[in-house]
């Protein structure tokens, strides 16, 4: 059967295995406790920007693009050409949008305003009738 030395080695191995498992569990518990402490600290501390960290509005990338960028740069960034400013000036006298009543997001273009704007555009440039599609700029009947 098992002689004396083999039995001692098996007992020592069993003790070592149990000890290793207990150490693993203890390390896992310590790691979890450290994570909980870090989470509590992170929840208590606030990270924010002060106004000194922010660039001046005139030094922003958008203003540099608007002031000094080419028409192609502006078109790629906004999908609008500089002619949009001219159109905006022409249409601004026909369209009134009330100023925002409170701070926050600007007001949305309401449906009734869209309908009125569509009527004005249709008076100036009537929609095509009896047309169901376009092929390369040519009307397909």
**pLDDT per residue as tens digits for the range 118-133:** 888 888 887 777 666 5
**pLDDT per residue as tens digits for the range 46-80:** 777 677 777 777 788 888 888 888 888 878 887 77
pLDDT of residue 92: 80
Predicted TM-score (pTM) of the model is 0.31
Backbone φ and ψ for 31, nearest 5 degrees, come out as -60, -45
CA distance 47 to 45: 7
Task: Tell me the pLDDT of the chain averaged across its residues.
Answer: 79
DSSP assignment of 30-78, as one string? HHHHHHHHHHHHHHHS-----GGGSPPGGGSHHHHHHHH--HHHHHHHH
Asked whether the beta carbons of 101 and 119 are under 8 A apart, the reply is: no
Greater confidence (99 vs 52) lies with 52
Give the confidence band of 14 by pLDDT, cuts at 50, 70, 90: very high
Residue tagged 């169901």 (tokens): 132
| Highest mean pLDDT: which range of 20-29, 44-53, 107-116 | 20-29
DSSP state of 85: H
């Amino acid at each position: 059967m098992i002689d004396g030395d083999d039995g001692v080695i098996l007992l020592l191995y069993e003790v070592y295995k149990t000890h290793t498992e207990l150490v693993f569990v203890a390390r896992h518990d310590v790691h979890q406790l450290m994570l909980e402490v870090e989470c509590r600290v992170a929840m208590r501390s606030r990270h924010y920007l002060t106004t000194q960290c922010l660039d001046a509005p005139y030094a922003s990338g958008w203003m540099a693009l608007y002031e000094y960028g080419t028409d192609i740069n502006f078109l790629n960034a906004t999908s609008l050409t500089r002619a949009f400013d001219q159109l905006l000036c022409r249409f601004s006298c026909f369209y009134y949008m009330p100023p925002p009543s409170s701070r926050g997001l600007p007001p949305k273009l309401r449906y009734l305003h869209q309908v009125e704007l569509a009527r004005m555009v249709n008076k100036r440039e009537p929609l095509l009738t009896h047309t169901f599609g376009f092929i390369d700029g040519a009307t397909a009947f």
